[in-house]
Every structure is written in C-alpha cells, then in structure tokens.
Amino acid sequence: MKKKYKFIVGILVLLLVSLYYFFNPTVSNFFPKCPFHTITGLYCPGCGSQRAIHDLMHLNIFEAINHNALMFFAFTFGIGLYLYSKKKFSDLIYHPKSPLIIFGIIFLFGVLRNLDKFHFLAP
C-alpha cells in the first residue's frame, strides 16, 4: 500500500476511534440503529457491538461483554492470536475451513441470543 493511502487510512481510523471514544452510542442519536432488530425485533449477532466498542475504550470490560460477548471474545482472541502465534497470522486466518467455522459460530450466537434460555447473551 502506498504511503499516501496508509496515511489516509490511519487518519480515518483515528477519527473513527475518537468518535467511539467521545460519544456513547447508547445516548447519542448519531450512531445507526440495527436494521435487523428494528424490522424483526430480534437481535442479530452484531447488536450491541457499538456499545461494546465504546465500553472497551473506557476499559469497562464487563459492560462490553454484556453488550456483545461474541464481539468481545473474538476481538480478544484475534489480538491474542496475532501477538502470540508461532505461525504466521495469515496462515491461521486463511485456512480453508476458517470461513465455515467463523460463520457457524456467528450464526449459532445469533440464534442463541434470541432464545429465552440464553437471555444473558442479548444486549
């Protein structure tokens, strides 16, 4: 990637991080609402992610887990895998079965968080 594009991407990431740090998605109308939840009343696997990101930036770990446990654990696992892996990170992520496993986990989480027995997974 050229230096110019890396700089632009870096600025955009910094702006996005600042936005999530300074504005709480729970009380701010600026952030978009989940269209899946708005239409169906069900929670999608991503519901609560914006609030979880905000909480993580303020080191509110338990609140982040309450808002979206999958996002928190996937983020933590990804960072740990990247930092402590003996293999190359790309070899682990781009394994042929990785997409099936990842989509299966996301689908299962989306179904479970809408069942009464697993109400603790809802945001």
| Per-residue pLDDT tens over the stretch 43-97 | 999 999 999 999 999 999 999 999 999 998 988 887 887 777 766 656 666 677 8
Q: Give the C-alpha separation, 111 to 123, whole Å.
A: 14
69 contact partners, CB below 8 Å, separation of at least 6: 109, 121
Whether the predicted pLDDT of 4 surpasses 90: no
Residue with tokens 């914006």: 50
Give the domain extent around 76. 3-121
Whether the predicted pLDDT of 26 surpasses 70: yes
List pLDDT tens digits, range 85-120. 766 656 666 677 888 988 999 999 999 999 999 999
At residue 78, the pLDDT reads 79
Domain count, the chain: 1
Q: Give the C-alpha separation, 99 to 103, whole Å.
A: 6
Instruction: Identify which of 29, 77, 26, 79 has the alpha carbon closest to the alpha carbon of residue 55.
Output: 26
